[in-house]
Structure formats: structure tokens, C-alpha cells
Amino acid sequence: MTEAKLEAWHDETRSFAPSAEFAKQANAQPSIYDDAAADPVAWWRTQADRLTWTTTPTKSLEWDLPFAKWFSDGTLNASYNAVDRHVEAGKGDKVAYHWIADAVGESRTITYAQLQKLVAQAANALTELGVKSGDRVAVYMPMIPEAVVTMLAIVRLGAVHSVVFAGFSAEALSSRILDSDCQYVVTADGAYRRGAASPLKPAVDEALESCPNVKAVLVVRRTGGDVGWKDGRDHWWHEIVDRQSEEHAYESFPAEHTMFIMYTSGTTAKPKGIFHTTGGYLTHVAATHDYIFDVKPDTDICWTAADIGWITGHSYIVYGPLINCVTQVMYEGLPDSGGKDRWWKIIEENKVTILYTAPTTIRTLMKWGEEFPKSHDLSSLRLLGTVGEPINPEAWIWYRENIGSGKTPIVDTWWQTETGGILITPLPGITATKPGAAMTPFPGISADIVDNDGNSVGNGEGGYLVLTQPWPGMTRGIYGDPERFMETYWSRFPGMYFAGDGAKRDQDGDIWLLGRIDDVMNISGHRLSTTEVEHALVGHPAVAEAAVVGASDPTTGQAIVAFVTLKLSAEDASKDQSALVEELRNHVAKVIGPIAKPRQIILTPELPKTRSGKIMRRLLRDVAEDRDLGDVTTLTDPTVVNQIAELMEIGADVDDDLTR
Ligand code: WTA
């Protein structure tokens, strides 16, 4: 994103104060900030009382930078906290999930009592397959109730789930399985997308060819049809889970017991296995879910429109809402499965009160037109949220006007896989919100914006977003790689957690997020590293060198643009270039997954480099963003080449640090 574009966002004068009516009934009242600031660690300790502990913790924070422990002498079971305790408290008949299938008309309602039985059966089945406390289990599943049941069953046993987004390729899945040595995989035969069945199991079979340690694969039948099968290794869910006892006696685990791993892109080709532990993470997601979404468990219907394959699904479809005993909508399909008004139909029919989604989806829905939301009664909605990337004010306003009847509060929530839960956000009923700004650190969170030397910037200035004190939901590290954890997050500014985002503090001191300042791209709210895509491209036999940039895109936030030089073989030279470009795009989709397919690949005789040989990504990004390259697949247009050459001259000494 260029400076000029960002400046246009910052209309600091436009703000929306909460209504007195909302403020009066809000879960968070203004004193919350002072209460937390007086003693953040003690405040978080009181938040931990939201959980049911087997052994109540006497310790709060133990901090040995960069390793934090929270509530370490407490013990608990995550799955008991999410499900069983609500049934014990007489809430068994309350609906946990209204699950809505991709196909219009297909749905399932699951109460807390039913969820408890399903989780017990799955936990018993996993035990029969050999899963024990501490084992890692990969989960590669579509958005079906069994995905949630699986996650809860795994943590119930003290095992560790590593959910891999089902849109990732076989290769991406196998590298994640190998990195954390998962010995079990839970998957489905396939998934539905806009009515069509797309297979999943073949990707698992392909992935497991290079994962000899995987002992068992549990497969949910979702789409039907033939699947490849390895006897002894593969087990149908309906054959093994359904016959299990509906009771399972849980064990308690220490608060710092590892609960899950979630892989996320860093600035190298190898994704990082971010891991979270139990007590601090659950405290953080429960408190943030309660105060930020203002949930009233008896009346609200929450819908987090995200996938469980990402951290948003973990924290705000599974753990936060279940800990808080709310009723949710969980949706399997795409926004236009069954028609462009599908979302609005779901909201109307289920009387959804709280909707949480990503700006990229809002922009897509906005593009389809107002007539779709207008044709449905959305008056049940009382709060809207966004996550995953900066939201442009135009989309914010559209969201509020067309979806929120011009009056619902909008919470623009900043956080990361690493942070576990939301850290910067307005609080509805308290904060006067500005379209495009995430506003304020959550109570008990110490955030700052610093310059290159780590000094706080003043109002009206930009810099790097850092967290200056530990918080309960923070990652406890990169699985198996403590040095990389220290180096990635804690060495740029000594003593501070460096998030990798640029941010600005406006004249009122409010925080605006400006996007990543490293080689991480944000494509439709999904993190991908430029290096990962480059790595995939140079793995193709025709490619000599590749440079990838995230260029701003009106719908997806950023889009992948790759500049590629070819190996000079006769065979490639004779190939039709647009066919080769297509082949390369598909190659990336195959290696990483369809979300990584470049929007555009430009074949160029050379890549612009600095004198020291570094690729000048910043320049390439400018070329990709500021020039309408249309359908051009080669940089043979002399004006473009000249411009690059010209800029190369100027840019030879440009500080390229931020982009390498
Ligand atoms: C970006 C998603 C601006 C940011 C929960 C961060 C945001 C990355 C916002 C984390 C927001 C997330 N405004 N940018 N409200 N929320 N981001 O790990 O660049 O998939 O570092 O976690 O998304 O992405 P992740």
C-alpha cells in the first residue's frame, strides 16, 4: 500500500459514538480500562476465574523473556470447560451450534448435551487408535461439526491438535505433519463447495507417502463415493466413533500443557508452528469474546464466518464461544453457495445477532450489490466485527449502513495467530469508533508504536506495532525452534514483541493498522510469505529466478504478483508463453494450495536488483500496483522496462531493509 493511499484512509474526524442504550447494557463498562491498568497481571488473574479449574492457580505470570507462563500451578481440562460444565450447570438443552450446510435446506442442530456425547465418543475412538496425552494430531477437515468435535476430543485427551486449512495442498499438509511429527490424522472424504463435492482424502493419501510415522487416519464420510483406502491405517469415523461409549472421564492437565499448534507463514519458505498452551489461552479467548462481542449467552446467536483452519476459527468459533456457553451458527459453504444472498438468508432465518468476518468478504458482498442484503430482514444484528486485515473506511461504512442498519457498533479487531486472541479493538458501548482504525489496546494489554530505534512515536506519527508486556493468550513459541521464536519476535526491539505490522497513532492517540512491513502478504486475510511462493516457483523446471510481491487489490486486500525469469532451454523458449504462465500459476496452487495462486505472473528477462544482489521488491511492488499491466505476461513493453530501468538507477541505494 502506498503512503498516499494510506493517508486517504485517515479521516480522524469521522467517529461514531456508541448509543446510550447500547452503553447502558454493555458487558464492558468504562472503568474496565482503569481496573486493568492498575494491575494488569492481577486483572488477568480475575479473568481466569471464568474457567473451571481442577486445581485453582495461585501463580499468575512468570516471565523469562521470551517465555511466559500463566497460572502455571493450576490444572484444568479444556474440553470440560467448553462443554461438560455447561451440561452440569443445567444448560444441556441449549443449542451450541446451528450447523448450516453448503446445500440450501441441509442443517443440523447440536445442543451442549449432544456435543458432550459426541466429544466423549470421539475421545474414546482416538484413545482406541492409540492417541495419548502429548501426541500431535493433524486435522484436515471441512467446516462440519465433526471438525469441532475432533478438536475438543483431542484436547480432552491432553493431545495437541494441528489443524491444517483444508484448502492447503498435499505438500503443505505433509510438511506440517512432519514438522511436528503428527502420528494421527483426522480428515473427511471430501468437502462441498457451491454444491459440488471436492475430494480431500486423496491429498491426505499423497501427503502421507512422505510421512511414515502416521499410524492412523480417521475419515468422516461427508461427500460419499469411492476413496483410496489403506487397511490397518485408515478408519471410517462412522465405524469406529459411533460405536463408542457416550461417556468419557477426563483428566486434568497443567495450565501450561500444550493445547494446539497452528502453522502460519513467516518471512522464510518454512511455515512456523505457533503453539499455544491451555489456561492462559482459554482465559484470553473467553474474556475477549465476552467483552468485545458483548455476548449475552441467553439471547445472542453468534456467527463467526471464518474457517476452523485458521486461528479465528479456533478462538472465536470453538474455544471462546463454547467457554462462554453461547449459541452459534456454523456455516459450511461459500458466501454465494445457493445464491448471492445466502449469508443474509442465514442471518434472517437464524436471527443472528453478532456477525464477525474479514474485510475481504465484506468487499466481495459489497461488490455484489445492496439488493441482496436489502431483500432480507437483518434487524436481529446488534454488533458487527472484522478481522484479518485493515478495513478500508468505504467497506466499514457499507457494513454499518447496509448490514448494521446504520447503527450497530463495529469492532475492528487486530490480532494474530501468535497472539491467541484479540489485542487491539474498540469496546462496544465505550469506544467511539473511527472507520478504518482498530483504536485501542484491550484492557490488560500494553501496546506501543515505536520508531526504528524502539522509541515511542508521538501522536500523528507512524512506526512499528509492538507489545510491551506479556499477555495470557500469547504463543509460547515456535514448535521445536526456540531460537527462531526469539529471533523473529523479540530481537528487533529488545524486550518487546515485534508483530510485523506497521501502525500509526493519530492526533487523538488512536491506533490505525497499516499492514505488514515484512515479506508476509495478506491475501483475503490469509497470511502467505513471498518467499514461500518464490520457493514454489523456482521448484518448477522452467524457472530460473522468481520475485513475488503482494500488490494491493480492491477485493482481496493484497494479491500475489510474481516476476519470473526463465531458464534458457530451447524447450521453454519454444513454449507458448501464456500457456507457461498458466502452468506456473497452477504449479504454485499445487505446491501450496489454491489460495497461493498468483493473480499475475510476469515473465521478464531480468529481475531488478540492488548492487549487492538483493531483489528490489519495493520497486516491483510499485510496478505491480501503480501500473495497469492488464493481461501482460511479459515485460516486453518498452515503457515498463524503461521505467524499471529508470527506477533501478534511482533506487540502487534505496534502503531495502523493510522488504527483505
Ligand atoms: C493482519 C488473524 C489490520 C495483520 C487473526 C496481522 C489486521 C495478521 C487486523 C495476522 C486488523 C489482523 N487490522 N490488520 N483488524 N487483524 N490483521 O495470523 O497484518 O492470520 O499481523 O491472524 O493479519 O494474521 P493471522
Q: Given this model, what pLDDT does residue 640 score? A: 47
End-to-end distance of the chain based on CA atoms, in angstroms?
A: 16
Q: Residue 46: pLDDT above 50?
A: yes
- Name the residue at shortest CA distance from atom 8 of ligand 1: 416
- Name the residue at shortest CA distance from atom 23 of ligand 1: 388
Q: Given this model, what pLDDT does residue 578 score? A: 86
Ligand 1 centroid, distance to 421 Cα (angstroms): 11
For the chain, how many helices (H) and strands (E)? 24, 30
Among 54-63, 276-285, 587-596, the least confident range: 587-596
Q: Given this model, what pLDDT does residue 633 score? A: 46
Q: Which sign, positive or negative, has the C-alpha torsion 230, 231, 232, 237?
A: positive
Q: Which amino acid is at 361?
A: T
Q: In which residue are the cell numbers 491405517 written? A: 233
Task: Find the mean pLDDT for residues 478-504.
Answer: 95
429 closest CA partner among 251, 292, 589: 292
Ligand 1 centroid, distance to 522 Cα (angstroms): 8
Q: Given this model, what pLDDT does residue 34 score? A: 98
Are 96 and 115 contacting, i.e. CB atoms less than 8 angstroms apart? yes
Task: Find the mean pLDDT for residues 595-609.
Answer: 85
- Name the residue at shortest CA distance from atom 6 of ligand 1: 416
Ligand 1 centroid, distance to 169 Cα (angstroms): 23
Q: Domain limits at 543?
A: 524-650
pLDDT in tens, 534-547: 999 999 999 988 99
Ligand 1 centroid, distance to 308 Cα (angstroms): 16
- Name the residue at shortest CA distance from atom 11 of ligand 1: 414
Q: Which sign, positive or negative, has the C-alpha torsion 566, 572, 575, 580?
A: negative
Ligand 1 centroid, distance to 123 Cα (angstroms): 33
Q: Residue 610: pLDDT above 70?
A: no
Q: Residue 491: pLDDT above 50?
A: yes
Q: Would you say residue 344 lies in a domain?
A: no
- Name the residue at shortest CA distance from atom 7 of ligand 1: 389
Q: Given this model, what pLDDT does residue 7 score? A: 56
Q: Given this model, what pLDDT does residue 552 score? A: 86
What pLDDT band is residue 659 in, cutting at 50, 70 and 90?
Answer: very low
Q: Residue 652: pLDDT above 60?
A: no
CB-based pocket (< 6 A), ligand 1: 264, 310-312, 387-390, 412-417, 438, 499-501, 513, 516, 522, 527
Q: Would you say residue 234 lies in a domain?
A: no
Helix (H) / strand (E) containing 385? strand 383-387
Q: Would you say residue 130 lies in a domain?
A: no
Residues 6+ away with beta carbon under 8 Å from 148: 97, 115, 308, 317, 318, 330
Spatial distance between the Cα atoms of 423 and 520, rounded to a whole number of angstroms: 20
Phi, psi of 245 (to 5 degrees): -65, 145
251 closest CA partner among 54, 48, 112, 50: 54
Q: Given this model, what pLDDT does residue 569 score? A: 67
Residue 312 alpha carbon, nearest atom of ligand 1: 5
Ligand 1 centroid, distance to 388 Cα (angstroms): 4
Are 301 and 321 contacting, i.e. CB atoms less than 8 angstroms apart? no
Task: Find the mean pLDDT for residues 239-256.
Answer: 98
Spatial distance between the Cα atoms of 122 and 301, rounded to a whole number of angstroms: 26
Phi, psi of 287 (to 5 degrees): -65, -45
pLDDT in tens, 321-342: 999 999 999 999 999 999 999 9
Q: Would you say residue 567 lies in a domain?
A: yes
198 closest CA partner among 206, 185, 189, 208: 189
Ligand 1 centroid, distance to 605 Cα (angstroms): 35
**Phi-psi category of residue 15: left, alpha or beta, with phi > 0 → left and psi -120 to 50 → alpha:** beta
- Name the residue at shortest CA distance from atom 24 of ligand 1: 416
Spatial distance between the Cα atoms of 157 and 264, rounded to a whole number of angstroms: 25
Burial of residue 225 (CB within 10 Å: 0-12, 13-18, 19+) is exposed
Spatial distance between the Cα atoms of 393 and 401, rounded to a whole number of angstroms: 12
Q: Given this model, what pLDDT does residue 576 score? A: 81
Ligand 1 centroid, distance to 129 Cα (angstroms): 37
- Name the residue at shortest CA distance from atom 14 of ligand 1: 389
Collapsed DSSP state (helix, strand, coil) of residue 469: coil
* Count of beta carbons in the 10 Å neighbourhood of residue 412: 25
DSSP secondary structure code for residue 442 in this structure: P
Ligand 1 centroid, distance to 406 Cα (angstroms): 26
Q: Given this model, what pLDDT does residue 111 score? A: 98
Task: Find the mean pLDDT for residues 451-469.
Answer: 95
Range 5-20 burial, b when 16+ CB lie within 10 A, else e: ebeebbebeeebebee
Q: Would you say residue 450 lies in a domain?
A: no
Range 251-287 burial, b when 16+ CB lie within 10 A, else e: ebbbbbbbbbbbbbbbbebbbbbbbbbbbbbbbbbbb
Q: How many CA atoms lie within 13 A of 126 on its CB side?
A: 32
Cis omega before residue 66 (within 30°)?
A: yes
pLDDT in tens, 386-442: 999 999 999 999 999 999 999 999 999 999 999 999 999 999 999 999 999 999 999
- Name the residue at shortest CA distance from atom 22 of ligand 1: 416
328 closest CA partner among 308, 304, 309: 304
Ligand 1 centroid, distance to 526 Cα (angstroms): 8
Spatial distance between the Cα atoms of 307 and 331, rounded to a whole number of angstroms: 9
Domain count of the chain? 1
Choose the residue to mutate in 424, 501, 511, 521 for probing ligand 1, maximizing ligand atoms within 8 Å of C-beta. 501
- Indicate the average pLDDT of the chain: 91
If you count them, how many residues does the chain have?
660
> Which CATH number is 612's domain given?
3.30.300.30
Task: Find the mean pLDDT for residues 55-62.
Answer: 98
What pLDDT band is residue 9 in, cutting at 50, 70 and 90?
Answer: low
Ligand 1 centroid, distance to 464 Cα (angstroms): 14
Q: Given this model, what pLDDT does residue 239 score? A: 98
How big is the chain by its Cα radius of gyration, in Å?
24
What pLDDT band is residue 8 in, cutting at 50, 70 and 90?
Answer: low
pTM for the whole structure? 0.91
Ligand 1 centroid, distance to 466 Cα (angstroms): 14
Spatial distance between the Cα atoms of 149 and 146, rounded to a whole number of angstroms: 5
Are 395 and 366 contacting, i.e. CB atoms less than 8 angstroms apart? yes
Cα 91–chain centre separation = 30
Q: Residue 375: pLDDT above 90?
A: yes
Q: Given this model, what pLDDT does residue 577 score? A: 83
CA angle 108, 112, 115 (to 5 degrees): 65
Q: Give start and end residues of each alpha helix (H) in 375-504.
A: 393-398, 482-485
**List of E strands, 160-250:** 160-163, 184-188, 190-193, 196-199, 216-220, 234-236
- Name the residue at shortest CA distance from atom 25 of ligand 1: 416
Ligand 1 centroid, distance to 415 Cα (angstroms): 5
Q: In which residue are the cell numbers 446488534 written? A: 382
Q: Given this model, what pLDDT does residue 1 score? A: 43
Ligand 1 centroid, distance to 266 Cα (angstroms): 13
Choose the residue to mutate in 260, 416, 516, 528 for probing ligand 1, maximizing ligand atoms within 8 Å of C-beta. 416
Give the residue, 192 or 6, on which the prediction is more confident. 192
What pLDDT band is residue 648 in, cutting at 50, 70 and 90?
Answer: very low
Q: Given this model, what pLDDT does residue 621 score? A: 80
Spatial distance between the Cα atoms of 183 and 135, rounded to a whole number of angstroms: 7
Choose the residue to mutate in 272, 275, 289, 387 for probing ligand 1, maximizing ligand atoms within 8 Å of C-beta. 387
- Name the residue at shortest CA distance from atom 4 of ligand 1: 389
pLDDT in tens, 529-583: 898 899 999 999 999 889 999 988 888 989 999 989 888 765 666 678 889 999 9
Q: Would you say residue 618 lies in a domain?
A: yes
Q: Would you say residue 629 lies in a domain?
A: yes
Q: Would you say residue 636 lies in a domain?
A: yes
* Count of beta carbons in the 10 Å neighbourhood of residue 452: 11
Choose the residue to mutate in 475, 527, 528 for probing ligand 1, maximizing ligand atoms within 8 Å of C-beta. 527
Q: Residue 654: pLDDT above 50?
A: no
Q: In which residue are the cell numbers 518471512 written? A: 267
pLDDT in tens, 123-175: 999 999 999 999 999 999 999 999 999 999 999 999 999 999 999 999 999 99
* Count of beta carbons in the 10 Å neighbourhood of residue 589: 17
Residue 425 alpha carbon, nearest atom of ligand 1: 15
Q: How many CA atoms lie within 13 A of 600 on its CB side?
A: 25
288 closest CA partner among 35, 44, 22, 39: 44
Question: How does strand 497-505 pair with strand 75-76?
Answer: unpaired
Choose the residue to mutate in 9, 522, 529 for probing ligand 1, maximizing ligand atoms within 8 Å of C-beta. 522
Question: Per residue, what are the HEC states of 143-170?
Answer: CCHHHHHHHHHHHHCCCEEEECCCCCCH
CA angle 288, 444, 498 (to 5 degrees): 95
Give the residue, 653 or 59, on which the prediction is more confident. 59
